[in-house]
Homo-oligomer: A and B are copies of this chain.
Amino acid sequence: MRRQERKPQRLYELVAQFGGEVLGEESTQIFQVAPLDSAKSGDLSFLTNAKYQHQLETTRASAVILDRESAGATGLPRIVCDNPYAYYARVSGLLNPAYAHSPGIDATASVAASAHLDEDVYIGPGAIVDAGAQIGGRAQIGAGCYIGRDARIGASSVMHANGTVYGECIIGQRAIIHSGAVIGADGFGMAMDNGRWLKIPQIGRVMVGDDVEVGANTTIDRGALDDTIIEDDVKLDNQIQIGHNCFIGAHTAIAGCVGIAGSVRIGRYCRIGGSAMIIGHLEIADNVEISAGTLVPKSIRKPGKYTGVFPISDHEDWSRNASLVRHLKELRSRIRTLEQQHKIRSNK
């Protein structure tokens, strides 16, 4: 029941396209990719973690992708290369090309007269392209999507069904935007005035670079005054919230359920674990890794891995120990008192 499988590939055809070297029978036919433990005949598998090396002995894959150090670990037909995981990604992409709708505008779509559609665009059923919006060539706007006034969607980008891009926001080329994502809603800005909130107009935009993926139900708010910026090749999982005026540097990857408050500046090549939370107005350097569930309360200036999560226990253990965290200062002063008493006694 998987997506329709494509024309099989022989190992020599794969290395001709993607590099690497074949060891063993180079005309082995590959129909699909699969993990070592569930692969069957016709599948190409891959070893990316030495801890699964024992699976090479029992796998039913017809061939495997390995790095140079593991090249001798099996007698199966194999492709040896520098980065087996990336190699697997390329082969899988070849065998499983993303489904694309045929170009055309569905009869039930609403496209404003002043909108501009480049060549070979697909606009799905019930999708709306508002006044002045521009849709780049070969872009796919899924069923029920809304593209706001003067927004721009770059060439070859794909919006899955029921996504929303507010007016004036700009999405780069080859973006993939999943269902339910909302790009460009107002940032959370208001001023307290005599006991009532006054809304602060959010007049910035969201600017999304090229090759960005935005997960399902992720939200990226427009800037208050300046723009919210997502650089090229940023990858966002589902249910992420990015506040107004954030800047996310190129190639940063953010896992699901992360919350990023307003005006946070995140560097390039960062990795933020699921459900992490970053407080507003901070800066995170390039190449920072934040562990899942960690709250970041202040700027991080140096690359590295940062963590701050409470250890899990069975509930009774937790009840016994956790509340003592609130008495750490007292415990420390009791230790100090003992140390002083010891010193006094030693000096006697």
Contact = CB atoms under 8 A, between A and B. Distances in A.
Interface stretch (A9-17, A20-28, A286-294): A286-294
Contacts of A130: 143
B86 A191 contact: yes
B310 A308 contact: yes
A305 to B, nearest CB: 4
Contacts of A298: 312
Interface of A: 1-3, 33-35, 38, 83, 85-86, 88-90, 92-93, 95-99, 106, 108, 110, 124-126, 128, 130, 142-144, 146, 148-150, 160-162, 164, 166-168, 176, 178-180, 182, 185-186, 188, 190-193, 195-201, 203-205, 211, 213, 215-217, 219, 221, 225-226, 233, 235, 237-239, 241, 243, 251, 253, 255-257, 259, 261, 269, 274-275, 277, 279, 289, 291-298, 304-315, 317-329, 331-332, 334-335, 338-339, 341-342, 345
A228 B279 CA distance: 29
Given A185-B238, A200-B92, A146 B168 contact: no
Contact of A217 (B33, B83, B97, B219): B219
A262 to B, nearest CB: 9
18 contacts: A3-B168, A86-B191, A88-B191, A89-B200, A92-B203, A110-B125, A128-B144, A130-B143, A182-B238, A190-B235, A196-B211, A295-B310, A306-B318, A309-B310, A309-B322, A311-B323, A324-B329, A334-B335
A215 to B, nearest CB: 7
A321 B329 contact: yes
Contact of A257 (B146, B205, B257): B257
B256 A239 contact: no
Contacts of A292: 261, 277, 279, 295, 297
